Amino acid sequence: DTGVSQDPRHKITKRGQNVTFRCDPISEHNRLYWYRQTLGQGPEFLTYFQNEAQLEKSRLLSDRFSAERPKGSFSTLEIQRTEQGDSAMYLCASSLGTGARNTIYFGEGSWLTVV
């Protein structure tokens, strides 16, 4: 079991550039989540997928953010026209089945620094 994998682990980009993060969930996990965590704060929900369908999005997910999960496997989170306020760690998580009784497994996160 390889766990949830995220790539890249660190990204430094200039303001205005686009960045894309990739998440590979645990094999056969049908739920995939994206969270954002800034320094000194707990993770904040961004969005989640049930297989390939994006079922819920937070208001934090502005128009510059887009997430996809083609074929219900890996997922990508793209941020267009990055701003300094986007600097954060982007966490991916996955779970098998629905409901809070199923354990959610987190990846190590992708750190974004916008300069």
Partner 1 sequence: AQTVTQSQPEMSVQEAETVTLSCTYDTSESDYYLFWYKQPPSRQMILVIRQEAYKQQNATENRFSVNFQKAAKSFSLKISDSQLGDAAMYFCAYSLRTGNQFYFGTGTSLTVIP
Question: Is 33 near partner 1 (CB under 8 A)?
Answer: yes
- Strands in 75-79's sheet, in edge-to-edge order, are 5-7, 19-24, 75-79, 65-68
* Rg for the chain, CA atoms, rounded: 13
Q: Which is nearer to partner 1, 54 or 80 (CB)?
A: 54
Q: How far is 75 from 69, CA to CA, in rounded Å?
A: 4
Site for partner 1 in 90-109 (CB under 8 A): 91, 95, 98-109
Q: CB of 108: closest distance to partner 1 in angstroms?
A: 5
Question: Is 39 near partner 1 (CB under 8 A)?
Answer: no
Q: How far is 48 from 110, CA to CA, in rounded Å?
A: 17
Q: Which residue ranges make up the site for partner 1 (CB under 8 A)? A: 3-4, 31, 33, 35, 40-45, 48, 55-56, 58, 91, 95, 98-109
